[in-house]
Amino acid sequence: MTSSSPSFIEANNVSKRFGAIQALKDVNVQVYQGDIHALVGENGAGKSTLGKVMSGIIRSDSGELLVNGRAVNYMSPRDALRDGITTITQEISLLSKQNVWQNVMLGQEKVTFGFLRKKEMLSRYSELLELTGFDIDPFTKVGHLNLAEQKKVEVLQAIARDANLIIMDEPTAMLSDEETAKFLDVVRNLQAMGKTVIYVSHFLEEVLEIANKVTIMRNGEIIRTTATKDETPTSLVEGMLGKSMEQMYPTKRFPAADAPIVFNVKSLSSDVFDKASLQARAGEIVGIAGLVGSGRSRLVKTLFGAEPIKSSTIEVLGKPIVIKSTADAINAGIFMIPESRKEQGLHLKQSIQHNLSLAQLPNYSKGGLLQGQQEQKRVGEMMKSLTISPALPKNKVSSLSGGNQQKVLFGKWLFEKPTVFIIDEPTRGIDVGAKQAIYQLITDLAKEGMTILMVSSEIEEIMGLSHRVLVMRLGEIVAEISADSPDFNEKNIMQAAFGTHSKPTTAQTSNETIQA
């Protein structure tokens, strides 16, 4: 859609204050009929507050809201719903013990003399399935569905209510990558049906993929509204932060030239690797780059004992070790943060305290009994040092923002300091403000002398944090580039990843020894 389409909703000079916090300041934005219009910004930028004003959840202090050219003053979400506006939030807001059709038709029940016209309601439900292309059994309890299916139920519920504008606030934050891909197809189908979507998200690649317009917010104000085709993840981040991407990264301080080699891997062989080798020094951040499928994640999983090793020589602090399991790696001081906190790293339905101390409970047990006071003391210290907010150890991890969940994941493996810290995708699925905090944490750990191996899909992240980069292709380490070398640039890293570099970018042409 373009600006030639009619404006569905328009905010003119809308402001909202919560005590001393100016959440919105003279906001002006137009959302056109049939658009998928994204709102992006750091936590606290005002994007969710603006969505809540538009959907009647909260009232603005000043300014004007127009819907289809008509001034409105919503007192509640029910008022907004009369104009076809509803919201799908990050948290599922369905009745888990009720059937799917009962949830979809909630508030839209057909009643005669106090009796539900169930047949008519089920017929309406079937029409909705045909309209959307979904296939969900109406008699399944909502609590038995996975998160992606529950999101579909919320979409059906919105359409059943004749919603023409659906405000989606972080709708994929709790979904896996596969579930997210399916949900984005649902959003596209809504647009094809003529629905208008306001898409609030901190997943910038996702925003650029799904939306045709994007509004950047910062400190409660609108920075700009543009077509997504004219934006990149970098331009969005710079708009959100008000500074360049380079300024997101802490000053890089290299370890001493004579810093001891802490991690020494020689001739690592497995089903994926053939005699791969690497070294890492105390205080060094070694970035591992490569395309999807290059073997970068498989490499670090193998070093953590999560995948089998056929043969290798591995030393930690000069001492030979044998890794046959993750327990062997942990006992040797090798800890690892996995790439997906939701699927591999955290128990989302458990407390922050449980997640933080789980991996180190044996160190806080005596005679089979947990030393609760010691554990709680260490949990408190960890939450304070990582600035986990809100600082309530008994709260479920699922109640935290993505950035704070990621801090808990870091805390789980920093509860007792590792010798070698492997980090796979350190900032996946968190907003730019939280990214800066994680970058500072990683840098500080290296300054304290910790040895870090870091895998990331974001080349800027690899370059911004690493002292040295190993580039992988087809299960081999094909290049090594030091951050203080003139060859250290995105072009050389990507050429090595694609196999198009004209000459080796490492001092060693053999894959058998990658020197520190």
What is the 3-state secondary structure of 127-185?
Answer: HHHHHHCCCCCCCCEHHHCCHHHHHHHHHHHHHHCCCCEEEEECCCCCCCHHHHHHHHH
pLDDT of the residue at 502 = 59
- 513 pLDDT band (50/70/90 cuts)? very low
pLDDT of the residue at 323 = 94
Q: Which of 360, 383, 417 is the last residue of a domain?
A: 417
Whether 108 and 179 map to the same domain: the answer is yes
Question: Is 197 part of a structural domain of the chain?
Answer: yes
Whether 224 and 237 map to the same domain: the answer is yes
The C-alpha torsion from 94 through 96 and 97 to 102, rounded to 10°, is 40
The DSSP string of 339-392 is S-IIIII--TTSBHHHHHHGGGGGGGEETTEE-HHHHHHHHHHHHHHTT-SS--
Can you give the pTM of this predicted structure?
A: 0.68
- 367 pLDDT band (50/70/90 cuts)? low
Whether 278 and 370 map to the same domain: the answer is no
Question: Is 2 part of a structural domain of the chain?
Answer: no
Question: Is 1 part of a structural domain of the chain?
Answer: no
Which DSSP category does 251 fall into? Answer: P
Whether 192 and 329 map to the same domain: the answer is no
Q: Which of 417, 440, 469 is the last residue of a domain?
A: 417
Q: Is the dihedral of CA 161, 165, 167, 173 positive or negative?
A: positive
pLDDT of the residue at 512 = 34
| Residue 88 near residue 171 (C-beta atoms within 8 A) | yes
Whether 182 and 280 map to the same domain: the answer is no
Q: Which tens digit of pLDDT belongs to each residue from 314-327?
A: 999 999 999 999 99
Q: Which tens digit of pLDDT belongs to each residue from 134-186?
A: 788 888 998 888 877 888 888 888 888 888 999 988 888 777 777 788 889 88
Whether 79 and 212 map to the same domain: the answer is yes
Q: Which tens digit of pLDDT belongs to each residue from 397-415?
A: 888 888 888 899 998 888 8
Number of separate domains in the chain: 3
Mean pLDDT of the chain, nearest integer: 86
pLDDT of the residue at 481 = 95
Question: Is 362 part of a structural domain of the chain?
Answer: yes
d(CA 242, CA 240): 6
Question: Is 254 part of a structural domain of the chain?
Answer: yes
Whether 222 and 133 map to the same domain: the answer is yes
Whether 171 and 80 map to the same domain: the answer is yes
- Has residue 8 got a pLDDT over 50? yes
CATH code where residue 225 lies: 3.40.50.300
| Mean pLDDT, residues 57-86 | 93
Whether 353 and 267 map to the same domain: the answer is no
Question: Is 310 part of a structural domain of the chain?
Answer: yes
Is the pLDDT higher at 460 or at 359?
A: 460
- 432 pLDDT band (50/70/90 cuts)? confident
Start-to-end Cα distance in the chain: 53
- Has residue 237 got a pLDDT over 80? yes
Query: 328: domain range?
Result: 244-333+418-516
Whether 263 and 364 map to the same domain: the answer is no
pLDDT of the residue at 24 = 95
Identify the top-confidence range among 21-30, 119-128, 156-165, 490-499. 21-30
Q: Which tens digit of pLDDT belongs to each residue from 368-391?
A: 555 567 778 888 888 888 888 888
What percent of the chain stands above pLDDT 70?
A: 92
Question: Is 317 part of a structural domain of the chain?
Answer: yes
Q: Which of 243, 268, 294 is the last residue of a domain?
A: 243
Q: Which tens digit of pLDDT belongs to each residue from 16-44?
A: 998 888 999 999 999 999 999 999 988 77
Whether 237 and 261 map to the same domain: the answer is no
Whether 187 and 256 map to the same domain: the answer is no
Contacts for 351 with CB less than 8 Å, ≥ 6 apart: 393, 394, 395, 396, 397
Residue 20 backbone dihedrals phi, psi, to 5 degrees: -85, -5
Question: Is 516 part of a structural domain of the chain?
Answer: yes
d(CA 125, CA 264): 61
